[in-house]
Amino acid sequence: MIVAGGIVIFLFITSPISAYFGRKNIGVLMGKLRRETFGKVLDLPYAYHKSRHSGDTISRLTNDLTEVENFLKEGFLNFANLLILGTAAILYMFVLDYRLAVVFVIFTGIIFKLNRGSARKMKIISDEVQKRQSTFTQNLTDVFQGFQVMKSYNLEARLKGKMEEVNQGVYEKAYERSRQQAKLRILSNLAFTSSFLFIVLFGILFMYLGWMTIGVVVAFTNLQGAINSVLNFLPQFNQSLQSARAALDRVFELRDEEKEPPVINPPYEGEKFPGYLAFRDVTFTYDKGKGEPVLKDFSFSVDEGKSVALVGESGGGKSTIIKLILGLYPVDRGEIVVGNRSSSKDEIAEIRRNVSYVSQNPYLFTGTVAENISYGRENATEEEIRDAAVKANAHKFIMELDQGYDTVIGERGLGLSGGQKQRISIARAIVKDSPILLLDEATSALDTESESLIKDSLREMMKGKTSITIAHRLSTIEDSDEIFVMKEGKLIERGSHDDLLVRDGYYKMLYETQFTKNDVDVKERVI
Amino acid sequence: MKEQILRIFDGKRGKVFLFIIPFIFLGLGNAIVNLTLATLLMRVFDFAAVGEFSEKFTQQ
């Protein structure tokens, strides 16, 4: 009796402590799920992100994981609690009177069956709700990313209409889910009320037969009340469970995608990486098995320390070459050699560590200026960061910012001009100090003053390095050691600027077209 | 379903068990309170319905 009393008191006291630890466990588990899923998103290949809307991935990381968290915090916690209560109550009923307990269990079984039958339907509806929520997030992402375009084209009303349509879709499905939930609740209430009546009726009958006392009947109705709370909770639990399952399916679908080998970022030390680069019979198609190859049996090589420019019409495969060097897509056939490494999957990380990339649209992360430059090399010192900024012609304007290198840059470099952002991104590439540079239209989106400053920065950065530059404006690449002229995925001419002009081929035609156009532009401006 | 749960816990049943222990104690605490109440009610009603108390109650 004393032991039993002790257990009761112990459980009574530990109950709130258990609730605390239960919630803590959920927090830890959700932290782990979020961390792992986000890590997986970063490890996924570039091709994955290019083939899917970013909003869908964001929705999986936010809406879907929140759905799982809500289930654990509200559904699972209460269910675990009530399940034990319900089981204990049923067992106690059997201890008190097995005949009445059997009657009760039969009715409970019917209610449970009803709930199970509709669970499948609930999962289908929940799946659809999650998908529609994902579409909503996709549209929302579009609005934020294209805010400037939206404003400039007066698209507010049109996009509002579109969002309204998508939102209506979410609402309709969510409403259907609530309807289904209400149906389940009504069914379980009805079933439960009838089971209560049966207990009372059978209890009176058994009392009349002398099988039980009034106390047992009262205890039965009290226990039935406890089980009532379990059964009433079942539809809500089912709905929450099915939503969480649908959400988990989508999260695991993302986590099942094949990832790239891990990119380890050890200190930049060790043997000197050779600045040699070669494409050997490379064939590449973006949409494997469907589209035409962008590059077919494509070969070229660049010796250490040389500067090569890629020119040609849009869609000729210039940017594809840069993407393939960076290992953003796997090639269909052939081999890409960078330094002493091959483009085979295991060596992508090593290649990327030795290649600096400056794009047309520099991307700055939310954080300080110094932090953004140090993304080039994790262990860069303050002095190295400053030196890189000086070489990139960025030091002066950085010092004019409120907090210099400690100024926090907003989302996508908000508050900085295009030229300033580009100079920070060049400083990032300089601090990386890699033997190979890839410049994709690095100056094309800039005004003349910024372009001139950036050209100086680039010249400084390219000293003694192997570089591949993509440029539309041929005047910017005249000094390159070699110019590759590309057309429809093929290398049709190569040589120095002077050689190519003498040859009177496609390059000369491109050059003259640009020259004439520039001439006309200048005349128009004068007029 | 079972597969999904195991995946969340890296396929380790021990982790699943550790996760649910606080919920088991929480449920047991709640169950004990309810069963004790039911037992008390049963005793009170039985005491009230039969024996000395019932007779005195009926006489009054």
DSSP-derived secondary structure for A173-213: HHHHHHHHHHHHHHHHHHHHHHHHHHHHHHHHHHHHTTSS-
Distance CA A49, CA A240 (A): 30
Strand A436-440 and strand A408-409: the pairing is: unpaired
Neighbours of A299 (CB within 10 A): 13
Distance CA A490, CA A294 (A): 9
Nearest-by-CA chain B residue for A82? B27
Residues sharing a CB contact under 8 Å with residue A258, sequence separation 6 or more, in sequence order: A45
Neighbours of A223 (CB within 10 A): 29
Interface residue of A9, A11, A72, A251 to substitute, partner B, most B CBs within 10 Å:
A11
Q: Which chain B residues are within 8 Å of A82, Cβ to Cβ?
A: 27
C-beta of residue A423 within 8 angstroms of C-beta of residue A454: yes
Strand A355-358 and strand A436-440: the pairing is: parallel
User: First CA to last CA across chain B, in angstroms?
Assistant: 62
What number is the ipTM of this complex? 0.81
Short-list A72, A82, A89, A70, CA closest to A22: A72
In this complex, the residue of B8, B30, B41 whose CB is nearest that of residue A222 is B41
Nearest CA distance, B53 vs chain A (angstrom): 14
B40 touches chain A (CB under 8 A): no
* Phi and psi angles of residue A357, each rounded to the nearest 5 degrees, phi first: -125, 130
Nearest-by-CA chain B residue for A13? B29
Cβ contact B31–A33 (<8 Å): no
E strands, A428-495, in order: 436-440, 466-470, 482-487, 490-495
Distance CA B15, CA A143 (A): 42
Cβ contact A80–B44 (<8 Å): no
Cβ contact A12–B29 (<8 Å): yes
Nearest CA distance, B46 vs chain A (angstrom): 5
Q: Which chain B residues are within 8 Å of A85, Cβ to Cβ?
A: 27, 30-31, 34
β-pair partners for A341: A338
B51 touches chain A (CB under 8 A): no
* Phi and psi angles of residue A478, each rounded to the nearest 5 degrees, phi first: -60, -30
Residuewise pLDDT in 10s, chain A (527 residues): 677 677 777 777 777 788 888 889 999 999 999 999 998 888 888 878 877 888 788 888 888 999 899 998 888 888 888 888 888 999 999 999 888 888 888 877 776 676 666 667 777 887 888 888 888 887 887 777 777 677 767 777 788 888 888 888 888 988 888 887 787 777 767 777 777 888 888 888 888 888 888 889 889 988 888 887 777 787 778 778 888 888 899 999 988 888 776 555 454 455 677 888 999 999 989 877 777 888 888 888 898 889 999 988 887 888 889 988 888 888 888 888 888 777 766 677 788 888 888 888 888 887 889 988 998 888 889 999 999 898 888 898 899 988 889 988 866 666 788 888 888 888 898 888 888 999 888 776 666 666 777 777 777 778 888 999 988 778 778 888 999 998 888 888 888 888 888 888 888 888 888 776 555 554 444 44
Cβ contact B23–A80 (<8 Å): yes
Strand order, beta sheet including A333-338: A295-302, A277-284, A333-338, A341-342
Nearest CA distance, B30 vs chain A (angstrom): 7
How many CA atoms lie less than 13 Å away from A86 in the CB half-sphere?
Answer: 19
Nearest-by-CA chain B residue for A216? B42
Nearest CA distance, A232 vs chain B (angstrom): 17
Long-range contacts made by residues A150-157, C-beta under 8 angstroms, separation at least 24?
A: none
Cβ contact A15–B39 (<8 Å): no
How many CA atoms lie less than 13 Å away from A38 in the CB half-sphere?
Answer: 8
